[in-house]
Amino acid sequence: MALDRNARRRLSALGRDGDAPAAPAAATPGRRPGVLTVGDPEDRHGPLEDLLPGLVREVDEGELYEITVPVAALGEWAEQAVRLWEQAARGEHAPRALGNVPPEQVVFFDTETTALSNAPLFLVGALALGDEGPVIRQLLARDYAEEPAVLAEARRLLHAAELAVSYNGLSFDVPYLRDQLRYHRLGPIELRQHLDLLPVARSRLGRSLGNCKLQTLELHLCRRQRGHDIAVAHIPQAYHDFVAEGDAWQMCRIIEHNAYDIVTLAELTAYLMD
């Protein structure tokens, strides 16, 4: 597998213009070109249902909160990112790693947890093509008791996909899901096919970027960076605070962080796979 021409062009450009992301066609007034503002410190305080409209779902394992939004709700950049992947997947020279899987049967996913292991998982986000375009589904546990419902529904969602795509999913997300499912005696998770882009990035890019963190690739290959994004290290405490206090302002930041990660994952698939 080799970098496609778009990825090579972006990497070669680093030697000419450093780390600065290229300006988008029309920059948002008041913001630096090429910077996505995530989780702005606005006055967004209140209950979950007011700040993040969603649906309370009842499944056999209990209740969960589901937030479903079209990718277009994130902005034109997100539509373009997913369109790039879809065009690559449907093209004459579709990435070999995708096999013959139609784009409609591919799911990009990411999880948010309260620790690195042996602690509750509280959010699973997934991006897939729907009947009316790409859609992001986020399964949220509003408290620790709703984790089994989130785990079980995420398991069903991933089992239904012909191909699941993740970033570090082989080492983290899938083992975490497996361990928590086992803890709650909910059965195993078995993906039909799983593509983890992190080993691909390490193989293709090596040490050329310093590291292969998702947001590092987002900067250098997708040519954008995030402003005011919640730090990964702060996510567990932010969730604990939400459960204890009921104020969902930090959940807005976590939900946005998770959604941006998934969209970036889709775009990177187009850049990293041939």
| Cα torsion through 48, 54, 59, 64, rounded to 10 | -20
Average pLDDT over residues 25-51: 60
For the chain, what is the domain count?
1
pLDDT of 39: 65
Average pLDDT, the chain: 84
User: Does 199 fall in a domain?
Assistant: yes
- DSSP code of 218? H
pLDDT confidence tier of residue 228, bands split at 50, 70 and 90: confident
Q: Name the 3-class secondary structure at 101.
A: coil
Alpha carbon of residue 223 to chain centroid: 17
Asked if the structure places residue 56 within a domain, the reply is: yes
**Mean pLDDT for the stretch of residues 211-230:** 90
Domain assignment present for 166: yes
- What's the whole-number mean pLDDT along residues 98-118? 88
Q: What is the dihedral of CA 60, 184, 241, 252, to 10 degrees?
A: -50
Confidence of residue 37 (pLDDT cuts 50, 70, 90): low
Q: Would 29 be classed as within a structural domain?
A: no
Q: What is the structure's pLDDT at 209?
A: 84
Q: What is the pLDDT of residue 88?
A: 85
**pLDDT at residue 38, rounded to an integer:** 67
Does a structural domain hold residue 30? no
Round to the nearest angstrom and report the end-to-end CA distance of the chain.
6
More confident call, 98 vs 20: 98
> Is residue 36 one of the residues assigned to a domain?
no
Cβ–Cβ under 8 Å, residues 208 and 13:
no
| Residue 26: pLDDT band with limits 50, 70, 90 | very low
Q: What angle do CA 258, 160, 265 make, to 5 degrees?
A: 30
CB atoms within 10 A of CB 69: 16
Average pLDDT for residues 86-95, to the nearest whole number? 74
Residue 9 sits at φ, ψ, to 5 deg, of -60, -40
| pLDDT value of position 207 | 78
Query: Strand, helix or coil at 33?
Result: coil
CATH code of 50's domain: 3.30.420.10
pLDDT at 14 over 60: no
Q: Provide the percentage of residues in the chain whose pLDDT is more than 70.
A: 81
In the DSSP assignment, the letter for residue 230 is P
Neighbours of 85 (CB within 10 A): 27
- Rounded to 5°, the CA angle 170-172-178 comes to 85
What are the tens digits of pLDDT across the range 184-193? Answer: 999 999 999 9
**Secondary structure of residue 134 in the 3-state scheme:** strand
Q: pLDDT class for 41, splitting at 50, 70, 90?
A: low
pLDDT digits (tens, 9 = 90+) for 120-160: 999 999 999 988 899 999 999 999 999 999 999 999 999 99
Residue 93 is assigned to a structural domain of this protein: yes
pTM above 0.75, yes or no: yes
Q: Provide CB contacts within 8 A for 234, sequence distance 6+.
A: none
Q: Which domain holds residue 163?
A: 5-19+44-272
Q: Give the pLDDT confidence score for residue 2 in this predicted structure.
A: 43
Residue 34 covered by a domain: no
